[in-house]
Chains A and B, each alone.
Chain A
Amino acid sequence: MEILSHLAMGFSVALSFENLLYCVFGVIVGTAIGVLPGLGPLATIAMLLPLTYTLEPTSALIMLSGIYYGAQYGGSTTAILVNLPGESASVVTCLDGHKMAQKGRAGAALAIAALGSFFAGTVGTALIAGFAPVLATFAFNFGPAEYFALMVLGLVAAVTLAHGSLLKALAMVVFGLVLGCIGIDVNSGVARLDFGFLELAEGIEFVAIAMGVFAFTDIIVNWRKKQTEPVLAAKVTSLMPTKQEFKESWPAAIRGTALGCVLGLLPGGGATLSSFASYTIEKRIARNPEKFGHGAPAGVAGPESANNAGSQSSFIPMLTLGIPSNGVMALMIGAMMIHDIVPGPQIMTENAPMFWGLVVSMWLGNLMLLVLNLPMVGLWVKLLRVKYDVLAPLILIFCLIGLYSIHNQSFEIYLAAIFAVVGYLFKRMHCEPAPLLLGFILGPMMEENLRRALLLSRGDALTFLERPISAGLLVVAAAILAVVLLPALRRKREEVFAEEEA
């Protein structure tokens, strides 16, 4: 069995002292920022990215991934005990998890969330190990037309899955694509839209946009609010779920895992979306839906499994196709590029130890998280005492030092200040920033593939429809867009999102 030898290689890489250490560090930091509301994995990874310059690429990726999936575990703790989403993927866990805690079942809710996440993490990791090499073989046949079509599909999917107005989400994607055009055009050497700044020759630094729009905008919005002490629901007593709770949970965990695995593959998907979708489904198919919102264990098990499965499977398109499905994955690509590793189908052969080491470390990390989160939950809850007055300056300074150290210059800092204002405007105008980031990341890749595809076909745009794979992908994209724009379904979609927000 080839896969066994691959996994053996993975274990030997992941179990080296150094990599194990970075894995532990990653999941601890991940849990901590997951517990803390107002600090998400994207901002944290962006902050820590400059620190990985000096690390081995494998260690760096192991640590950064640990932060991402670790945050999914930590987020549920805050949601259940304090009724605050520690992380955006845990918003729906508040609904039933906190109700369970109020009924004195806090321990059971935490255990269900952690066990569900661990199950989902294991399945998600297995999916990467089994599916990624297959997809990579398949992807070797992809030409520029296929890549372009795939990215169009991804952006369309991201738009339809975004909250709020469809038109605005589309506009945000296109705005991101325009921002991606800034810098020197690789084919002609013309500096485009750079307003005369030499620093913009290589384009806008992604980290500057991410930190401005997420971290700095958050500080502007949140710091002025009067702070209230978080109120803990109840003491955590027994961690054991009852037989009935267990019976209600496990099918939900399996469904959530399956859903998360699929949605994580989609660009724009990942942890947050998976948890929302899972909650909606669990509520629909439940025999007694009136229990939801009043402490239904399935309402904890489903979304918590889904968000972890989604966060794992979103690694697949990044590793095999080089296409990031969300902002965190884009930062991962950035981390690889620093070390001259180009993500794509060739990664399985050229960087095999890194790939398999990462896969195995993810499973080990999930195991560590189970241990970290269940018996030590009391320790994490203490973190919630940290006031935003302390957190805000910490985030600010860490981001600023990170921005400075990208190129040892202040230019990125000023860019981030501009994007802080832009991000604040978007927040006021009810525009979701996530599609913008995705557009920005995919923009240059889309332009390059469009250019190559049209060059090969001598300018015939029909090439996208003549090649079966690309035609199929574009048809699916068109179908999604058409379906969402139909008035009846549009109302339904708004209904679903309204429900989630309630």
Chain B
Amino acid sequence: MKPKRGNVDVESGVFFTLSGLITMLLSMNYSFGTAARMGPGFFPIVLSGLLTFLGIAILVSGLRTRKPVVPSAFDLKSVLIVCTAIVLFGLLLMRAGLLITVPLTVVVASFAQHEMKWKQTLVIAVALTVFTWLVFIAGLDLRIPLLPRFV
């Protein structure tokens, strides 16, 4: 489960270098201009150059170190569960309304806990739905649909 290999500096170095290069590539489409009349590309190109440089520097220092800091295991399950819940909420809220979206999101997200406790989760889901209904729709009158559109 836990990989012993890896190096936080190498990983972040690669991340920053790639981000810098991609930004530079994209910014090439915008005119650079001159110092006196900076074009829209001036600032991003200068910055992405700097970012690439820093990324390479971090990468090199990571490759040279004798005692690499090993990153913790990538917890794909938790990332996927939480992000699914977030995206689900975004997709459903306008279409299905608050009364369906909130409990569903809570249940999906709750799979991220140490071990799924169904009873507790359902109680929280119901309580939170009523609470958000009272606070955001009844109280603050935000423009959020309560019920599904076809009702």
By a beta-carbon cutoff of 8 Å, the part of chain A in contact with chain B is: 50-51, 54, 165, 167-168, 170-171, 174-175, 177-178, 181, 185, 187-188, 190, 192-193, 216, 219-221, 223-227, 389-390, 392-394, 396-398, 400-401, 404-405, 408, 410, 413-414, 416-417, 420-421, 424-426, 428-431, 447, 450-451, 454-455, 457-461
Contacts and interface: CB of A to CB of B under 8 A. Distances in A.
A194 B145 CA distance: 29
Nearest to B82: A220
B86 A397 contact: no
B93 A410 contact: yes
A190 B42 CA distance: 12
A393 B110 contact: yes
Interface string B105-123: 1100110111001001100
Contacts of B121: 389
A278 to B, nearest CB: 28
Given A220-B75, A393-B125, A429-B8, A401 B142 contact: yes
B112 A224 contact: yes
The number of chain B residues touching the other chain, given as a range, is 35 or more
Nearest to B85: A396
Interface in B54-99: 54-55, 57-58, 61, 69, 71-72, 74-75, 77-79, 82-83, 85-87, 89-91, 93-94
B138 interface: no
> Which 10 pairs between the two chains have the least Cβ-Cβ distance?
A459-B36, A410-B90, A413-B90, A459-B35, A185-B40, A429-B12, A171-B54, A190-B40, A417-B86, A428-B71
B87 A54 contact: no
B72 A428 contact: yes
Given A192-B30, A192-B40, A181 B47 contact: yes
Contacts of A397: 89, 102, 105-106, 128, 132
A389 B142 contact: no
Given A168-B12, A175-B16, A393-B125, A450 B43 contact: yes
13 contacts: A188-B30, A220-B78, A220-B82, A224-B77, A389-B124, A393-B110, A401-B132, A405-B144, A410-B91, A429-B11, A429-B12, A430-B69, A459-B34
B71 A219 contact: no
Interface of B: 8-9, 11-12, 15-16, 19-20, 23, 26-27, 30-31, 34-44, 47-48, 50-51, 54-55, 57-58, 61, 69, 71-72, 74-75, 77-79, 82-83, 85-87, 89-91, 93-94, 102, 105-106, 109-110, 112-114, 117, 120-121, 124-125, 128, 132, 136, 140, 142-144
A276 B26 CA distance: 41
Contacts of B90: 400, 404, 410, 413-414, 417
Contacts of A413: 86-87, 89-90
Given A401-B142, A459-B34, A175 B113 contact: no
Contacts of A221: 78
Given A410-B91, A416-B86, A401 B136 contact: yes
A185 B113 CA distance: 43
A271 B38 CA distance: 38
Contact of B38 (A401, A408, A454): A454
B33 to A, nearest CB: 9
B94 to A, nearest CB: 7
A178 B79 CA distance: 25
Contacts of A392: 109, 112-113
Contacts of B110: 389, 393
A93 B38 CA distance: 49
A461 B42 CA distance: 14
A397 B90 CA distance: 11
A335 to B, nearest CB: 16
Q: Is the interface of A mostly helix, strand, loop or mixed?
A: helix
Nearest to A401: B136
Contacts of A167: 54, 57-58, 61
A389 B117 contact: yes
Contact of A175 (B51, B61, B125): B51
B113 A188 contact: no
Nearest to A224: B78
Contacts of B9: 165, 168
Nearest to A422: B15
Nearest to A446: B43
Given A168-B58, A413-B86, A178 B40 contact: no
Nearest to B75: A224
A193 B27 contact: yes
Contact of B71 (A223, A429, A450): A429
Contact of A425 (B15, B48, B54, B125): B15
B15 to A, nearest CB: 7
B3 to A, nearest CB: 12
A455 B36 contact: yes
Contacts of A50: 142
B64 to A, nearest CB: 13
A447 B42 CA distance: 9
Contact of A454 (B12, B36, B117): B36
Given A174-B47, A393-B125, A219 B112 contact: yes
Contacts of A227: 114
Contacts of B105: 396-397, 400
